[in-house]
Each structure stands twice: as structure tokens, then as C-alpha cells.
A = this chain, B = another copy of it.
Amino acid sequence: MTEPLHEIRAARTALTWLIEPGNEAIWRLVQRHGPVAALAGLMDGTLADGALRAAARTRLADADPRQVAALALERAERLGARVLIPEDGEEWPAQVADLTRMARAGATATDRDAFPPLCLWVRGGWPVAEALERSVAVVGSRAATPYGAHIASDLAYGLADRGWTVVSGGAFGVDAAAHRGALAAGGRTVAILACGIDRSYPVGNAALLDRIAETGLVISEWPPGAAPHRHRFLIRNRVIAAATAGTVVVEASERSGALHTLRRAARIGRPAMLVPGPVTSAMSVGCHEFLRDEPAARLVTGVAHVLEEVGRIGADLAPPVRGPERPEDRLDPVLNRILDGVPTRTPAGAEEIAARAGVDLRSAMRALPALVLQGFVRQEPGGLFTLAPRRKRG
């Protein structure tokens, strides 16, 4: 490709406006001919096949895509936003190319329409590839319970605190709690939207999205002004899944869109994690069902588990969870049994203790001095034994 970068940028912007992102045919056209030639060929009908031409026809009749792109780029500039394209080199998050593999193997049309984005609209100054290099998606139900909001915020805080970028969808509920948790840790967070980066959707999150853009990023495939159509959430989800090292669903009802993102993550080969919750909560039903049905799903209960999945071995491995150890836990089973046979009050001899414990006399006689030495048992006059005070119950 010898075209100047601004022409390529305009072409990719125009193509994304003409055909909804994720489309397989347009992605192949761009791969084969480059964005500028692909746009020209789609517009004059020389390159595109029937289906693709038909898909573009309504919009082509509406306006000149090059003009639309130019206006959108102007508008973005006024908003302090920019359009990032693969040709920009190292700022492009190369990992989204993993979508190709998944989309190629897709069994259904929906799966196949999950090809990588042609461009990304970006609000915020942080280089995108750098922001997403060590990132985890934390997503979930819009109708989060206080439990879900607490967990999402806590998890995001912990991830941000350890230098991970928290990515979410900028929605109410779990998404908002995750963004807020990351910000509370002084971390940076990325919202990937299903509408134009200037739409502030949902309106109630406008201030939050502004705050995210101050230190982090607000990203979208759609040009400024684009509406949050319902199907766009499904298209958007693949970018959240592919841009991050793994996805965590905190709360999800049975048909939650968050599970769609998680399924995408699993199919790309990224860790698909879920936080369990009370089985009495409708907002955890989706998490539990996914954990039951998908062998690749991982149950996580906190930041340590998440880092174990996405982190590098040695750097971010979770410490094993253990209960407070009681001293007698370290005793072998036979010593433990003999200890059980030692009376609390009335001192007993080795023989009686052996009988109570159900072991032979020799084992008891060998074990008792060891138990005395270790402070579990007290030796009384006359070769008798009782439990040492701290072992006494009641």
C-alpha cells in the first residue's frame, strides 16, 4: 500500500460506516486489496460480490461514504478524539487479530461475523496497545445486585492496584462498578462502547465516561453520533473479548449479554472466568449455568484467581487458600488418634490411652513422649498422661 495514511484512515472509516463491523466479506476485501481499493471497488461495484453490494446499497444511496468519513473525522477532531487503524503500527492492539481464527472456524453466520475491527474511534490520550497490553475485562449484568456491584468494584480495584487495565462496556451495574473500582485504585480503565464515543450512553453514565476518558480510554468501532442499536452490543462484545487477556463475568442473569462476551472470549482461547454467588439470586443464575455447561469456564472468587488465569506463571500466581492451621493438623494420623485417646481430666496410662485410641500399646508408648515434647500432652506423676491445657475443650 502506497497511499498516504490519511487516505487509508478515511477509507477504513468509510467502510465501517458502509457495512457493520465484523463482516467477513468486507474484511476479506480489505485484506486482499487494501482499504482504499476495497472502498473504491465496493462503491463502483467492481470488487464486491452481490451480497456485499446489496448490503452497502442503502447507505451508498444515502450519502457519499468519503464525505461521511471526512465529516466524522472532523467531528472527532473537535471532540479531541481520533481514529486508530492497523496501519498506525504499534499503537494498534494487535491481539484483536485473534478474532480472525475464531470467525474463520465459526459454525454460524453470527460467529463468522466476528472478524476484527477495521478501525477504532478513541477518546483519551493513552496509547491503545499499551493500555490493553495487560488488561482484563470485567463485565456483567446491568441490573447488578449490591453483591455484584461490590464484587465488581473490589475485583477491579485489585486488578488496577496491580497495574492491570480494567476493560468494560460502560453500562450500568457491573460495568460501571468495575470502571469505578479501577478509578478508585488510581488506575486507568477502558470503556469499549456499542455506540459513538460522544453518545454518553447510558446518559446516567455520562460523567463516568468523561472521567474514564481523562486518564483512560473510551473506544468504539462506530463513528461519533452512532446509536446504540441492540445488535451492536453483540458486535462490540467480540472486541472486549479479544482486546483483553481474559474476561470475568461478575453477575449475569440467564440470558445476559455478558455471557455472550464470555463465550467469545472462550472461543478465541482467552480465559473465561465467572464469579459465583448465592444460588438464591437470579443475577447469578447465568454464572452458575455457564460454569455447569462450559468445561472451559473457570470459577474465580477474587483477584488472585483472575491473575492466576491471565497472569504469567511466577509473576501473578495465586497463593493457595488455606484455613488457619491448628497445631495438631501437622501430626500424622496415628499420633492424632493417640492424642484423641488422651483424657482431659483424669490422668490415664499408656495402656488405657492405647485402648481408647484403638492402637497397639507399643505405638502409644512410642507416641506419648513425642506428644509431650511437642506440648500436646502433659506427663503426670506415675507415668500417667492428660491433655496439655491448650488442648482442653470446655
Which A residues contact B (CB, under 8 angstroms)? 19-20, 51, 54-59, 61-62, 101-102, 104-105, 109-110, 147, 150-151, 227, 229-231, 253-255, 266-267, 269-270, 275-280, 284-285, 288-289, 291-292, 294-296, 298-299, 301-302, 305, 321-323, 329, 332-337, 340-341, 351, 354-364
Contacts and interface: CB of A to CB of B under 8 A. Distances in A.
Given A147-B278, A231-B340, A288-B276, A296 B334 contact: yes
B332 A295 contact: yes
A291 B337 CA distance: 20
B292 A279 contact: no
B340 A255 contact: no
Contacts of A335: 295
A56 B363 CA distance: 12
A316 to B, nearest CB: 14
Most buried by B among A275, A285, A288, A302: A288
Contacts of A280: 147, 150-151
18 contacts: A54-B360, A58-B351, A147-B280, A229-B356, A231-B340, A231-B357, A254-B323, A255-B322, A269-B359, A270-B360, A276-B277, A276-B284, A276-B291, A277-B277, A277-B278, A277-B279, A288-B299, A292-B298
Contacts of A254: 321-323
A340 to B, nearest CB: 4
A183 B3 CA distance: 80
A294 B150 contact: no
Given A151-B280, A334-B266, A229 B357 contact: yes
Given A58-B351, A231-B333, A358 B150 contact: no
B299 A276 contact: yes
Contact of A358 (B105, B302, B305): B105
B361 A58 contact: yes
Contact of A231 (B102, B231, B321, B336): B336
A294 B332 contact: yes
Contact of A302 (B61, B231, B279, B322): B279
A58 B357 CA distance: 10
Contacts of A147: 278, 280
Contacts of A102: 358
B55 A360 contact: yes
B275 A355 contact: no
A322 B259 CA distance: 13
A148 to B, nearest CB: 10
Contacts of A110: 333
A305 B151 CA distance: 26
A27 B255 CA distance: 54
A58 B361 CA distance: 6
A279 B301 contact: yes
A301 to B, nearest CB: 4
Contacts of A359: 55, 58, 269
